[in-house]
Amino acid sequence: MIAATGNRMTYEIARQSQLASALAQTQTSISTGKRIQMPSDDVAASTRVSRLTRDGSDSTVWSRNLSLAQSLASEADTALQSMSDITIRARETMVTASNGTLTPADRKTQALALRAMASDIRSLRATQSSLGQPLFAGRDAIAIPVAAGQSIVPVATAADSFGTLDARLDAAAAAVEAGNTTAMASALDDMSNAVDEASVTVADHGIRAANIDKAIDRLDSHTTDIKVEKSSLADTDIVSATAQLNSQTITLEAAQAAFARINRRTLFDILG
């Protein structure tokens, strides 16, 4: 009889210890806001959270790279818009120079303007990026990784962006200065073509910039999904945890009260 009573007491003490431990764990999860304090709390969820954390770190790197790509694309857009404006001015200059009423001095002035435009094109071609490197690569365009196995080229090469526009402007200036009507007519046609080509170049760059924006949107969405899933696995549901804490507290208090009443009996009560 005494042995049986002792066993029941040992069992009850162990049960209350478990209840107290569970209650303490719930209190900790509420105070820290974290459901998982150590991997053993939920092995499957903990493993998934670790993977999501790694994905989140990768996303941070991709985000920085996309910001860089967006910045370079913006710098290039400014340069290419300037290039497009120059071609329009060059065509207007050639129209003026080709009307046949200009004096040699007037033609020289127009030629100087065209040569200044050629110099501006060369300056745009040599633009330095915020990284201190050529914005428009001389050979291979810079590819920036923005996801696993995926890269974006934010800026085309100098050749693809400007072609030989500076040399064509110099040729137009030479034709105007010499008063060569045939060469000037050809240069006027060439400058008209340059306007169209610049428009295509700007549009192509716009597509590059749009693709970067889409990649940023996709990454933002993915990053949000990671945060939501990670929170659902690792963070405490305060409402649910509070209800659980109240239930655990009532259960433990009831067990302690019952245990106290039972153990008010004396040894003679048990033997009798």
CATH number of domain containing 56: 1.20.1330.10
Which contiguous run of DSSP H or E holds residue 221?
helix 181-234
pLDDT at 259: 63
Query: Based on the domain organization, do 216 and 193 belong to the same domain?
Result: yes
Q: Are 36 and 46 in contact (CB under 8 A)?
A: yes
Is 22 inside any structural domain? yes
* Number of domains forming the structure of the chain: 2
Does residue 157 sit in helix, strand or coil? coil
Indicate the pTM of the whole model: 0.71
> Could you report the per-residue pLDDT of 142-182, keeping only the tens digit for each?
899 988 888 999 999 999 999 999 999 999 999 999 999 99
> Could you report the per-residue pLDDT of 174-227, keeping only the tens digit for each?
999 999 999 999 999 999 999 999 999 999 999 999 999 999 999 898 888 887
Q: Are 245 and 2 in contact (CB under 8 A)?
A: no
> Could you report the per-residue pLDDT of 98-139, keeping only the tens digit for each?
887 888 999 999 999 999 999 999 999 999 998 888 999 988
Query: Based on the domain organization, do 16 and 103 belong to the same domain?
Result: no
Query: Based on the domain organization, do 142 and 17 belong to the same domain?
Result: no
Helix 165-178 vs helix 181-234: angle between axes, to the nearest 10 degrees? Answer: 160
Query: Based on the domain organization, do 82 and 153 belong to the same domain?
Result: yes
Query: Based on the domain organization, do 229 and 255 belong to the same domain?
Result: no
Is 182 inside any structural domain? yes
Query: Based on the domain organization, do 66 and 151 belong to the same domain?
Result: yes
> Domain span at residue 166?
43-234
Helix 165-178 vs helix 43-97: angle between axes, to the nearest 10 degrees? Answer: 10
